[in-house]
Amino acid sequence: MKCHVIDALEFVGGQCSALYPEKPIYDIPAYPTIMAEELITKLKEQAAPFAPTYHLNQQVIGFRKQENGTFDVVTSKDIIINTKAIIIAAGCGSFGPNRPPLDNIRAYEGTSVFYSVRNKIAFADKSIVIAGGGDSAIDWAIELSAIARSITVVHRRNKFRCAPESTSKMEQLVALGKIHIAAPYQLHQLHGENGNLESVDLIDFESSLKNIKCDILLPFFGLSMDLGPILEWNLHMEKKYLSVQSDSMQTSIPGVYAIGDIINYPGKLKLILTGFAEAAIAAHSIYNLVYPDQPLHFEYSTTKGVKTDEKV
């Protein structure tokens, strides 16, 4: 079977990558301890021979049943994927950044405005404004100060909400002129052209403005989660959880399956381990839908192996 993976985030990994990439997990079988991000790297590696197509940074907004029984899945980037089966593994809903309320911010996203740092080398020799006062803002200000041309941290209070070691490290870098602090200030307006930022206006409580020249803005105001469109898909739900048949993971709509934190059934555990097992149950059930004329002969991976020389 072939698989397309769609996620609202600009990277795969759900909660592991978005919420706790550097936390150790202790209950993944065969790993006495593994960092969440490392688990995701290994899962991607394990999925690679099956050549999944990833569609990131876009939300699934809905699906339409076709006359031939297949579904058209529609994303927020107007991509339409025709499929015989859908698996909803939407956790607590789409993750999205908490955007600062600036009129034209979306025009700069992906070129000058980023809500996470995936490849820090891309920020070498850039003039960067980092907005926020928590751990992410301060940790990245410290980290990027080693390679950026300039770093300005904008925060609406004079006090930062981060680990005390980070505060003292930042103070040292401020004293060395590697980091500049603009506080108490808030982001007010962006200036630039064609998605390329040239400067940012900041405003304080007395409404006086300050302009900072910059190429990059990194707003770190946390992530929000939103079940959003899923609530409108006419799937049976109980208390915001999708109901599934526990022997197949099928939802109330035939051909639409659900696994992971978004589902509930008697005895459900919200664990990664449980999600893995639910994915296997759903995949086995879906095989009959994708290949109705080919009976599925249950085989162990030790017997069957993984086909690396051809597209599966």
Binding string to ligand FAD for residues 20 to 39, with x set by CB under 6 A, is what?
A: x----x-x------------
Residue 46, Cβ neighbours under 10 Å: how many?
10
Pick from 3, 4, 10, 19 the residue near ligand FAD by CB under 6 A. 19
Q: Of 2-10, 40-48, 144-152, 202-210, which segment contacts ligand FAD by CB under 6 A?
A: 2-10
Write down the least CB distance from residue 19 to ligand FAD, Å: 5
Rounded least distance, CB 72 to ligand FAD, Å:
15
- d(CA 157, CA 224) in angstroms, rounded, equals 22
In degrees and rounded to multiples of 5, residue 238 shows phi and psi of -130, 120
Between 49 and 228, whose beta carbon lies closer to ligand FAD? 228
Contact 167, 160 (CB under 8 A): yes
- Under the binding rule (CB under 6 A), the answer on residue 264 touching ligand FAD is no
Q: Indicate which single residue of 14, 97, 133, 192 sits in contact with ligand FAD (rule: CB under 6 A).
A: 14
The DSSP string of 4-37 is EEE-SSSSS-HHHHHH-TTSEE--BTTBSSEEHH
Dist. CA 214–CA 169, nearest whole Å = 23
Q: Give burial (CB, 10 Å; 0-12/13-18/19+) of 293.
A: exposed
Q: Which of residues 71-130 bind ligand FAD (CB under 6 A)?
A: 89-95
Residue with tokens 């021979």: 49
Query: In one letter, which amino acid is 241?
Result: Y
Phi, psi of 46 (to 5 degrees): -70, -30
Among 39, 40, 59, 185, binds ligand FAD (CB under 6 A): 59
The yes or no reply on residue 60 touching ligand FAD (CB under 6 A) is yes
- Show the tokens assigned to 23: 């936390």
Strand, coil or helix: 159: coil
**Residue 291 interacts with ligand FAD (CB under 6 A): yes or no:** no
Question: How far is Cα 308 from Cα 156, in angstroms, rounded to an integer?
Answer: 53
Run of H or E including 285: helix 272-290
Cβ–Cβ < 8 Å for 228, 90 = no
CB of 227 to ligand FAD, least distance (A): 7
List 136, 144, 275, 286, residue binding ligand FAD (CB under 6 A): 275
Half-sphere exposure (Cβ direction) of 1: Cα atoms closer than 13 Å? 20
Name the residue nearer to ligand FAD (CB basis): 22 or 299: 22
Residues of this chain, 225-244, that bind ligand FAD according to CB under 6 A: 229-230
* Residue 273 near ligand FAD by CB under 6 A: yes
Nearest approach in angstroms of CB 270 to ligand FAD is 5
Decide: is 16 part of the binding site for ligand FAD (CB under 6 A): yes
Among 10, 270, 285, 290, binds ligand FAD (CB under 6 A): 270
Binding interface with ligand FAD (CB under 6 A): 6-9, 14-16, 19-20, 25, 27, 59-60, 89-95, 229-230, 260-262, 270-273, 275
